[in-house]
Chain A
Amino acid sequence: MSKNNNKNSKESRGFFEFLAAKTALPSDALAGEFRIEMRGRHTLFLQGCRRILKYSPEEMCMAAKGFSVSITGKGLICSTYHDGTVTVDGFIVGVNFDEREGADEI
């Protein structure tokens, strides 16, 4: 029951996200949300990455705020990783969001 409640709380918007939506401000700036930007299918920027959980040329998992982002593809490389921003190059097939234990730990 408690787990369902926790899940519901993550699926529902938080205060800052609600405020960002109402004030038309970007949620990554106001609520500290992560930001993903893709350029074609070969470059992906993830801003707000807290740590890299797993790396292989086929899959790359990164921890963000309360979630983990999994990028699947072929020949993935982590070109740069600095100040919470990861640049992933390679042929990107999919981007998945998972809820994982310990994702917030650094």
Chain B
Amino acid sequence: MNISYLFVGSVAVSVTYDHIASLLNLCMYYCIPYTDFTPKEDCVTLRFRLSAMRKLKKVCSERGVIYTVLDYKGLPAFLERYKYRWGIAVGIICAATLVFLSGCFIWDIRVTGNENITSAEVIELLDGYGFSVGTYIPSVNTDKLENKLLIDSRSISWISVNIVGTVAEVQIREYSEPKIEETALKPANLVAKKSGVVEEVRIFRGKVMVKPYQYVEKGTLLVSGIYDSERVGFRYTRASGAVMARTTNEYYVEIPYEYEDIRYTGEEYCDKYLNFFDFSINISKNSGKEGVLYDKIDIVENCSLFEGLQTPLETHTVRYLAYEKVQAIRTAEEAEALAYYELSELLGEAAEDSVIIRKTITPKVGEDSFSLYCVVTAIEDIAKLSEFEVDMGAG
């Protein structure tokens, strides 16, 4: 059937073989289109447009062509059938109106970027400026709202209100006052945190108490936070700076030949979850992994319809690979390689704050282990803050 007939309405008629030729001639003569010409055993069925049927009815009665109406189809027939059921029409109109109007109001406010202020506080703050759930979207001037809120609020340093559909996405940055630590105001000395030979002194504040090439022990006063003056007496400050010294550090790494290793048993357990937004549903049976040592692998896959189009539906698979602990023995070569690796890791960490100028490594192959003894000479900052209390009343 022609799809346009669904909208304009159609009527199916049946005509006997005696009258079909006359009916077709009338159709041609009066330009009445038809479709679905179907010959049956004793008649032929055709389908006409509802509007054309009115004309056909008139000319057929004039020429004595007999036909039988079989059915009415299409939108006009549907409306005709339900024309006395006003409730359906009213319901459809109300639903359409609600759908249209619902797009004009804020349905949800989502706040992001807040750490100390709660989302409820931000929403309440916005409510004070006439912006809340249910606000008429065309009446919202987001620029004005943002500016007003920034001027009046002390806790928010930046805000952006983006209306996406019927959801308002509010991004904020909280205002944080620069904090001055109380400890930064206390007077302090710089003392040596380890022994060494002073190479260079870089002082920003305080009185230098050591000289280059001077050997200092751990705990020696390097920079004093007290100024002694005959005119104004004692003054206190928080000494600051760096004292670079040549130090000697020792590192010791020991790798035993016998160690505890893990061996996978081949058993694997699996849990499957279905995530929808923040909701997660376990769709697998109990994996029965209780009391078993395992490594855990999480695999999250998004159920995207097309490439690049993400959906809120995800499958979350958790694989548990069971293992057991076993005693293992490594060779001397393996132990040596591991020892050098661990030593390099230690030296790498030490080199972050110092410059290594010499190192001496002494390997030792024992019966049960392989060990490395390393002596490193480096230049590093040995100054360490040492605060002290001042009794102001005594002065």
Contact = CB atoms under 8 A, between A and B. Distances in A.
Given A52-B21, A53-B21, A75 B39 contact: yes
Interface string B7-21: 000000000010011
A49 to B, nearest CB: 8
B31 A82 contact: yes
Contact of B39 (A49, A51, A57): A57
Interface in A51-106: 51-57, 75-84, 106
* Max chain A Cβ within 10 angstroms of own Cβ: one of B27, B28, B29: B28
B33 interface: yes
Question: For the complex, would chain A's binding face be called helix, strand, loop or mixed by DSSP majority?
Answer: strand
Contacts of A84: 28
Interface residues of B, number: 15
Contact of A55 (B24, B31, B33, B34): B24
A6 B8 CA distance: 51
A82 B24 contact: no
A84 B39 CA distance: 21
A75 B28 CA distance: 22
B25 interface: yes
Contacts of B20: 55
A81 B21 CA distance: 11
B24 A78 contact: yes
Given A55-B20, A55-B21, A81 B28 contact: yes
Given A78-B24, A82-B28, A82-B31, A55 B17 contact: yes
A56 B24 CA distance: 13
A91 B34 CA distance: 22
Contacts of A75: 39
Interface string B225-267: 0000000000000000000000000000000000000000000
Contacts of B37: 77-79
Contacts of A52: 21, 24-25, 28
Contact of A51 (B17, B25, B44): B25
A56 to B, nearest CB: 6
Given A77-B37, A78-B37, A56 B28 contact: no
Nearest to A56: B17
Contacts of B21: 51-55
B17 A81 contact: no
A55 B15 CA distance: 12
Contacts of B33: 80, 82
A78 B46 CA distance: 10
B362 interface: no
Contacts of A53: 21
Contacts of B97: none
Nearest to A54: B21
B68 interface: no
A81 B39 contact: no
Contacts of A57: 39
A68 B6 CA distance: 38
A94 B38 CA distance: 21
A100 to B, nearest CB: 14
Nearest to B17: A56
Contacts of B31: 82-83
Nearest to B44: A55
Given A55-B17, A56-B17, A81 B24 contact: yes
Contacts of B29: 106
A21 to B, nearest CB: 30
B38 A77 contact: yes
B192 to A, nearest CB: 107
25 contacts: A51-B21, A51-B25, A51-B28, A52-B21, A52-B28, A53-B21, A54-B21, A55-B17, A55-B20, A55-B21, A55-B24, A55-B44, A56-B17, A57-B39, A76-B39, A77-B37, A77-B38, A78-B37, A81-B24, A81-B28, A82-B27, A83-B28, A83-B31, A84-B28, A106-B29
Interface of B: 17, 20-21, 24-25, 27-29, 31, 33-34, 37-39, 44
Interface of A: 49, 51-57, 75-84, 106
Pick the 4 closest A-B CB pairs, nearest first.
A52-B21, A57-B39, A51-B25, A52-B24
